[in-house]
Amino acid sequence: MLSLTLKEVIHQIQQGKICAKELCEKCIARAARVKELNAFTTETHNIAKKQASASAERQATHATLPLDGVPVAVKDNFCTKGIRTTCASHMLESFLPPYNATMVEKLLNNGACLLGKTNLDEFGMGCGSIDSIYGPVRNPWNYHFVCQSLEEAGLQLGSKESHSMTYSQLKARGIHMSAQSRSKVLRQTREAEKMTEDVHCGSDWYIAGGSSGGSAVAVASGVCFGALGSDTGGSVRNPASYCGVVGFKPTYGRLSRHGLIPLVNSLDVPGIFTRTVEDAAILFNHLGGHDVNDSTTVSDPFHKQDLPDISIKDLCIGIPKEYHSPGISEEILNAWKWAADLFEKAGAKVIQVSLPHTQYSIVCYSVLCCCEVASNMARYDGIEFGYRAENNESTEELIAASRHYGFNDVVQGRIFAGNYFLLRQNYEKYFMKAQKVRRLISEDFQKVYSKKVDILLTPTTPTEAPLYSWFSEQDNRTRTAEQDVYTQPVNMAGVPAVSVPVRLSQAGLPVSLQLIGQSFKDHDLLTVAKWFEQQVKFPRLDLSYLD
């Protein structure tokens, strides 16, 4: 049941073939099995069960809502009324929003069941989902689950034996196992070519990407059928790429940011994780539209659309040459080439185009992001909400102490740098300069689209999912600069983009590609993406062996 798509699930619930309550229970059970992936900061299973019951009642009377009974997850930077919303930060560890974000409200009003809030990089800063007070998120691909090992060792997860003695290599996962069981596990399950010993024993693993890693993992691991993330520089598409799911970032201004705790207001867009492109379109249909609470949503009419089957012959696909950057891996490059050829073989016109300012996009982002962060984080003073230090000498001492504890180094560093760039003497040199470069990047896209190019095809990330041990060798800023190169320029221009998983690499990790569309032509983009997805037939992750 959990390997169905969202579309199939909706259909079966509407038909009464699946009971909403049963589906919810299955998802909750799966969540327990994959808990060590650390995708969730807060589990709201009781709430989900209540919502599922309500859905079931509506099922019985044939008065179902469009998303009735569908389990979903929401990134923990969307405000959920009465449910802890932490942004994976000490600053908001006990924050209970008094309202629902518009995106959450729409999901719930359509009958979806909220399974929990997902893990992320603190305040959305990062591309690995490793900088969280709740610990890092782990990619389910090539992941050796402890419960799997335990079973093979004849032990039950949570049993007395599994907690009897401490064992250093599994300690990191909070699971304790006896030395005997460990060697048994190693003997029985090791596959030398596919996994190193570290990965196999759990002391190393592949990162989920970020910053919406938790949401990507929630969908990839079968815990839910759709999840919300936020995409500022690639925070939805990057983890979607690493986790082998569809990650869709709509046009800036299509989805409401009311209730989304912002990272960079002029770049943030709520994003959608699903297993298929069609699923993403379904959620998009129910989430899009003008919101009076968000002045950056457009009041253009928003129409729900199904994705038709199209003839690819009428399309012109652009291949921006600057997306072959120095850091790209062979696997990704070859997948990109293969996909370009696929389009061409099917009859589309495929041309090479140029987006000349691409390589500066990430630099531009680093400046604009730091500046906005410095501004957006100014509200965290501990007085109206958030962590408050024990300091009453002066307001400034109190605020500084609260922020020093509440924010991690990444956040503090960006605030510091951002204020530097915004100083009177630096404003023109850095902030305004970055804004000018942003205009050039945006115009790059406009120029290309004005020349009859419909869609751009690029890689999503320069590599497949990296190992945690490798990734954590460098700091957050360096990694962001490397990993977000292809996703970031899209946010600068505000155009829509979707990451579609294409195939598995030699190492068995997902390789994805990105399709970029024109502003406010989201459905057109998804239509092409759907066609592409049908061609590539990506083998989705199936963790049903854990159940």
Partner 1 sequence: MIAVTRITAKSSTRNLRQKLQLNNYFSSKVPDEPTWVPIDKEKLPKVPELDEATVNHLERLSLVKFNNQAGVERLYKAIEYANQLHMVDTEGVEPLDSVLENRSVYLREDKVTDGNCLKDILQNASLVVEDYFVAPPGNIPLKPVDKKSSK
Partner 2 sequence: MVYSNRISLRRLCRLSFLVSRHNRHYSNLSYNPREQEWRSVVGLEIHAQIQSESKLFSGASTKYAGSTNTQVSIFDAAIPGTLPVLNRHIVEAGIRTAAALGCKLSQMSKFDRKHYFYADLPAGYQITQQRHPLARNGKVKYLVYNTDNWNKYSWKTASIIQLQLEQDSGKSLHDADQNRSLIDLNRAGVGLMEIVTAPDFTDGEEASSFVRELVLMLRRLETCSGRMEEGALRVDANISVHRPGEPLGVRTEVKNLNSVKSVGRAIDYEIKRQIGELESGREIVNETRSFDAQSGQTIAMRDKEKLQDYRFMPEPNLLPVFLYDSKSVPMGVDPANVIITDHLLQGLPSSPSKSYERIHDDHKISIRNCVILVNEDGLLKIFDEIVERRDAKALINFLIADFLGVAHARDINLLQCPVPFRHIAEVFDMKTNRYISNDNVTQVLELMFDFPNKTPGEIVKEKELENIQDLEVLQAECEKTLLKHPNVVQRWKVGQQKEKKGRQDPMLKLVNTTMTALNNRANPLVLISIFEKLLSKK
- Tell me how far apart the alpha carbons of residues 65 and 305 are, in angstroms, rounded to a whole number: 17
First-to-last C-alpha distance (Å) of the chain: 11
- Residue of 235, 366, 402, 512 marked catalytic: 235
Shortest distance (Å) from residue 299 CB to partner 1: 6
Which tokens go with 114?
Answer: 């909220």
DSSP assignment string, 28-90: HHHHHHTGGG--EEEE-HHHHHHHHHHHHHHHHTT---TTTT-EEEEETTB-BTTB---TTSG
Partner whose binding site includes residue 514, from partner 1, partner 2, none (CB under 5 to 8 Å by kind): none
Stretch that binds partner 2, among 95-103, 110-118, 126-134, 448-456 (CB under 8 A): 95-103
Q: Which is nearer to partner 1, 176 or 477 (CB)?
A: 477
Which tokens go with 292?
Answer: 């009076």
Shortest distance (Å) from residue 442 CB to partner 2: 15
Question: Is 384 an interacting residue with respect to partner 2 (CB under 8 A)?
Answer: yes
How many helices (DSSP H) and strands (DSSP E) are in the chain? 20, 11
Beta carbons of 270 and 262 less than 8 angstroms apart = no
Question: Is 96 an interacting residue with respect to partner 2 (CB under 8 A)?
Answer: no
Which position among 12, 53, 266, 354 is part of the footprint of partner 2 (CB under 8 A)?
A: 266
Which position among 95, 167, 360, 405 is part of the footprint of partner 2 (CB under 8 A)?
A: 95
Beta carbons of 381 and 391 less than 8 angstroms apart = no
- Tell me how far apart the alpha carbons of residues 239 and 284 are, in angstroms, rounded to a whole number: 19
Nearest C-alpha neighbor of 83 from the set 105, 100, 107, 108: 100
Partner whose binding site includes residue 78, from partner 1, partner 2, none (CB under 5 to 8 Å by kind): partner 2
Handedness of CA 360, 365, 366, 370 (dihedral sign): positive
Cis-peptide into 149, omega within 30 deg? no
Q: Which is nearer to partner 1, 4 or 351 (CB)?
A: 351
Active site residue 75: yes
Beta carbons of 182 and 167 less than 8 angstroms apart = yes
Stretch that binds partner 2, among 19-27, 178-186, 309-317, 380-388 (CB under 8 A): 380-388
Partner whose binding site includes residue 321, from partner 2, partner 1, none (CB under 5 to 8 Å by kind): partner 1
- Angle made by CA atoms 11, 105, 62, in degrees to the nearest 5: 35
- Tell me how far apart the alpha carbons of residues 151 and 159 are, in angstroms, rounded to a whole number: 11
Positions in 59-88 near partner 2 (CB under 8 A):
78-79, 85, 87
Shortest distance (Å) from residue 176 CB to partner 1: 28
Stretch that binds partner 2, among 188-196, 286-294, 314-322, 459-467 (CB under 8 A): 286-294
Positions in 432-471 near partner 2 (CB under 8 A):
none
Partner whose binding site includes residue 482, from partner 2, partner 1, none (CB under 5 to 8 Å by kind): partner 1
Beta carbons of 42 and 83 less than 8 angstroms apart = yes
Question: Is 390 an interacting residue with respect to partner 2 (CB under 8 A)?
Answer: no
Buried b (16+ CB within 10 A) or exposed e, 59-83: beeeebbebbbbbbbbbbbbbbeeb
Beta carbons of 73 and 117 less than 8 angstroms apart = yes
Partner whose binding site includes residue 237, from partner 2, partner 1, none (CB under 5 to 8 Å by kind): none
- Angle made by CA atoms 37, 248, 530, in degrees to the nearest 5: 110
Q: Which is nearer to partner 1, 225 or 449 (CB)?
A: 449
DSSP H/E element including 219: helix 213-220
Partner whose binding site includes residue 257, from partner 1, partner 2, none (CB under 5 to 8 Å by kind): partner 2
Positions in 198-257 near partner 2 (CB under 8 A):
257
One-letter identity of residue 302: F
Question: Is 416 an interacting residue with respect to partner 2 (CB under 8 A)?
Answer: no
Active site residue 452: no
Positions in 303-332 near partner 2 (CB under 8 A):
none
Which position among 195, 399, 411, 504 is part of the footprint of partner 2 (CB under 8 A)?
A: 399
CA distance readout (Å), 317 to 1, 300, 347, 352, 485:
36, 27, 11, 8, 20
Stretch that binds partner 2, among 16-24, 421-429, 458-466, 492-500 (CB under 8 A): 421-429
Shortest distance (Å) from residue 482 CB to partner 1: 7
Q: Which is nearer to partner 2, 291 or 454 (CB)?
A: 291
- Residue of 129, 132, 149, 211 marked catalytic: 211
Partner whose binding site includes residue 262, from partner 1, partner 2, none (CB under 5 to 8 Å by kind): partner 2
Active site residue 49: no
Which position among 374, 511, 513, 525 is part of the footprint of partner 2 (CB under 8 A)?
A: 374
Nearest C-alpha neighbor of 466 from the set 502, 505, 428, 431: 505
Shortest distance (Å) from residue 96 CB to partner 2: 11
Question: Is 392 an interacting residue with respect to partner 2 (CB under 8 A)?
Answer: yes
Stretch that binds partner 2, among 2-10, 155-163, 335-343, 417-425 (CB under 8 A): 417-425
Starting at the edge strand found earlier in the chain, the sheet holding 113-118 runs 40-43, 113-118, 71-75, 226-231, 269-274, 246-249, 497-504, 510-516, 455-459, 316-320, 349-353
Q: With contacts defined by CB under 8 A, how many residues of the chain interact with partner 2?
A: 47
- Residue of 35, 75, 106, 530 marked catalytic: 75
Contact residues for partner 2 (CB under 8 A)? Answer: 78-79, 85, 87, 92, 95, 97-99, 101, 257-262, 264-266, 292-296, 299, 371-372, 374-375, 377-381, 383-385, 392, 395-396, 399, 419, 422-424, 427, 431
As annotated, the active-site residues are: 75, 211, 235
